[in-house]
Structure 1
Amino acid sequence: MSMTSLGISTGFMIGYCVLAQTARRLAKRFVDREGIVPTLINEAIAAAELCACCFELIIVADNFGVAAYAVFLFMLTVWWGKVWGDASACPYTHMVDLVEGKTSLKEVALRTWAELMGGCCVYRIVQVFWWFEFAETHKGRAFEDCNADLQVHPYLGAAIEGFATLLCRLASKALSEKEPKFSSIIDSFIGTSLVVAAFNYSGGYFNPVLATALKWGCRGHTNVEHIIVYWIGACVGALLSVPIYRVPLVRRFLVGEQKEKEE
């Protein structure tokens, strides 16, 4: 494939990141900062940005390989860590907050709904862009049937998504606590590495909203299997990170000391 096609994919992702950042600034300027509404808007914008870029990353992976995919994903993850603020575009982060007593069930449900709306609705924008076929890699992609990335048994896929999500969460917690130099870059590198490791097995989504926006209803798994792998698997892994991180042996390994603060 030509470098022109890669350049067009790059341009789309950069363009959408600029669009999303503009939307965030406009929302901050015109939306009342009180209440849950600005939070939901930011979650929807972040989820739309995440899914739009990852739709295009599918094109990159299919035509230029997993290495190119990993480089783009790493750079995007670093960027998102700097601009998203309190948004996560991922439901299990709010579930973890609920378990830790930092939020309410109502807010978890509303944030998840906003993320699903942003992530799923953005496909129409991506589809129109693909329909124009500016790049040869976009030919026929706008309306073709999608195929699932799950290449293993659904229960194994759920275990892979769950275990990798657990590792991601533990790494993020440890980095947040220790705050080493370039912690956001280290966190992005760990996340990207785990995605690449799981890429040929479950797809390496580690985010229920992202998986649903990109792969719901695709050939290769049923809707129930999709929920088991990408929702139950990932969410269980994230929730398990809460008690596991409190285990003294785990804490000594990750942060070099026992947790002294009483829960």
Structure 2
Amino acid sequence: MALNDLLISSAFIVLCCALAQTARKVLDRFSSINGLVKELILEAIAAAELCSTCFELIIVADNFGVATYAIFLFLLTVWWSQVWGDSTACPYTHMEDMLEGRTTPRDVALKIWAQLMGGCCVWRIVQFFWWLELAETHKGKAFEDCSADLQVSPLAGAFVEGVATLLCRLASKTLSEKNPKFTTALDSFIGTSLVVAAFNYSGGYFNPVLSTSLKWGCSGNTDIEHIFVYWIGACVGAMLSVPVFKHPIVRNLLLGEKLKDE
């Protein structure tokens, strides 16, 4: 594929990030919008940014290889960690907060709803850009039937998504507590590596909103299978990270904390 096509994909990704950041700046100007309402809007913006860029990353992966895709994903995750603030564009982070008593079920449900709205509604913008067919890699993509990324059984897929999400969350919690140099880069590298490792099995989504925006209704999976793999698998893995990370043996392994004598 021509370098020009990759540059067009890059430009679209940068444009999506710039528009999302502009939306955040505009929102900050409205002092009357605060509290939960502002949090919901920011979650929707983050989810829209995540999903719009990842739609284009599908084009990058399909035409320029997983290595190129991984570089883009790494750079994007570093960027998101700098600009999203407390937003996550991911349901299970709020579920973890609920398990630890930092938020309520109502707030969790509202934030997941906001994420889904932002992530799913942005498809029309992506579709319009692909319809323009500015790049050879976009030809026919706007109205093409999509296919699921799951290459293994639903049970195996849920296991992959769950275990990888668990490892990803444990890594993030460890880095958050130890706070070494280049924490953001390390966290992004670990997350990207896990995505690449799972790429040919489940697609390596580790985010129910992202997988739903990109792959809901695609051929190859039933709706129930999609929910089982990408929602239940990932969310169970994430929520398991809460008690697992608190276990003395795990904390000793990850943080070097000495085990207390019984």
Deviations 1:15-47 (A, max 9, x none): 110110000000111252432110000000000
Match of 1:15 in 2: 15
Structure 2 alignment gaps of length 5 or more: none
Q: Distance in 1 between matches of 2:161 and 2:259?
A: 28
Compute the RMSD of aligned alpha carbons. Answer: 1.0
- Where has structure 1 moved over 4 Å in runs of 4 or more? none
**Where in structure 2 are the equivalents of 1:13-52 lying within 5 Å?**
13-52=13-52
8 Å CA contact retained: 2:131, 2:142: yes
The within-5 A match list for 1:72-87 is 72-87=72-87
| Alignment pair present for 1:114 and 2:114 | yes
Which residue in 2 is equivalent to 1:161? 161
Does the aligned pair in 2 maintain the 1:47–1:115 contact within 8 Å? yes
The match for 1:248 is 248
* Distance in 1 separating the partners of 2:66 and 2:214: 17
Contact 1:206 1:234 (C-alpha < 8 Å) held by counterparts: yes
CA distance in 1, matches of 2:254, 2:193: 18
Q: Which residue of 2 aligns with 1:146?
A: 146
Deviates more, 1:241-250 or 1:206-215: 241-250
Q: Deviations over 1:89-108 (max 9, x none)?
A: 00000000000000000100
* Equivalent-residue separation in structure 1 for 2:30 and 2:54 (angstroms): 29
AA in 2 matched with 1:243 = P
- How far apart are 1:248 and its partner, in Å? 1.0
Give the distance between the partners of 1:60 and 1:31, measured in 2 at CA: 39
| Equivalent residues, number | 260
Partner of 1:222: 222
Q: Deviations over 1:192-238 (max 9, x none)?
A: 00000000000000000000000000011100000000000000000
Cα pair 2:249 2:259 within 8 Å, conserved? no
Pair 1:118–1:31, CA change in 2 (3 A) = farther
**Which amino acid in the other structure matches residue 43 of structure 1?**
E
Aligned partner of residue 206 in structure 2, secondary structure? coil
Q: Distance in 2 between matches of 1:115 and 1:128?
A: 21
**Long gaps (5+) in structure 1:** none
Alpha-carbon distance between aligned partners in 1 of 2:143 and 2:37, rounded to the nearest angstrom: 34
160-169 or 28-37: which moved more? Answer: 28-37
C-alpha contact 1:77 1:188 (8 A) present in aligned 2:
yes
TM-score where L is the length of structure 1: 0.97
Of 102-111 and 246-255, deviating more is 246-255
Matched residues in 1 for 2:216 and 2:258: separation?
Answer: 42
For 1:157-208, what per-residue CA distance to the aligned partner results, in whole angstroms no more than 9, with x for missing partners?
0000000000000000000000001101100000000000000000000000
What's 2:188 paired with? 188
TM-score (normalised: structure 2) = 0.98
SS of 1:144's equivalent in the other structure is: coil
